[in-house]
Amino acid sequence: MGKNSWKEFSWKWSKALLLAGLITVLLRNFIFIPMTIEGSSMIPTFQQDDQIIVKTIYDIERFDLVVFHDSSNRTLVKRVIGLPGEKIQYENDQLYVNDKKFEEKFLDNDLVNNAGGIWTSDFTLEELTGTQVVPEDEYFVLGDNRRSSNDSRYFGSIPVESIVGETSFIYYPFHRMKNVQ
């Protein structure tokens, strides 16, 4: 390899490595953010110290798992139960949205099935927040571990601008690596 071809070769590889590094930084910091679960409010979906990927490009639908900042700037993960403009109610452990029954398949697990008694206490959105429907540009969220979750039942619906992203993938610990619903 001559002197010029070595310089050319080095320059091509340098550009490729620089581009790969730039793409990695952009993806890591702006599109896919790693995060560690703290607390027990999302058990069994997420366990303490699970490491998850948060997608910052998202389209929120019912039952999505969202990451957001609460009013004290803590980062929380909860499940979207109510969308803007919807009436939310629980009666006899059953979710009703706009007076229509909704099944929560993610609650069909050993923790809930073996717990005995009511998993989600009865409430209406109006009893909790004084409003009949979830306000525009806000979401009503609950933890999957309903008996041990600080969620919209306590702090109200969350504004869309507080949402960091959506998550559905545990990447560590490796034995728990999976997509979650």
pTM, two decimals, is 0.84
Q: Residues 118-140: pLDDT tens digits?
A: 999 999 999 999 999 999 999 99
Q: Residues 83-129: pLDDT tens digits?
A: 999 999 999 999 999 999 999 999 999 999 998 889 999 999 999 99
**Marked catalytic residue, from 7, 10, 41, 149:** 41
Question: What was the pLDDT predicted at 56?
Answer: 87
Residues of the chain with pLDDT > 70, as a percent, come to 93
**Marked catalytic residue, from 15, 78, 100, 148:** 78
Q: How many CB atoms lie within 10 A of CB 119?
A: 17
Mean pLDDT score, 34-55: 94
Whether 41 is a known active-site residue: answer: yes
Question: What was the pLDDT predicted at 39?
Answer: 92
Whether 121 is a known active-site residue: answer: no
Return mean pLDDT, the chain: 90
- Can you read off the two tokens belonging to residue 151? 């969620």
Strands 123-124 vs 88-91: parallel, antiparallel or unpaired: antiparallel
Burial of 39-72, coded b for 16+ CB within 10 Å and e otherwise, reads bbbbbebbeeebbbbbeeebeeebebbbbbeeee
pLDDT value at 62 more than 80:
yes
CA nearest to 66, candidates 79, 83, 55, 48: 79
Look up residue 40 and give its amino acid: S
Q: Residues 136-153: pLDDT tens digits?
A: 999 999 999 999 999 999
Cα→Cα distances 56→126, 154, 177, Å: 31, 26, 20
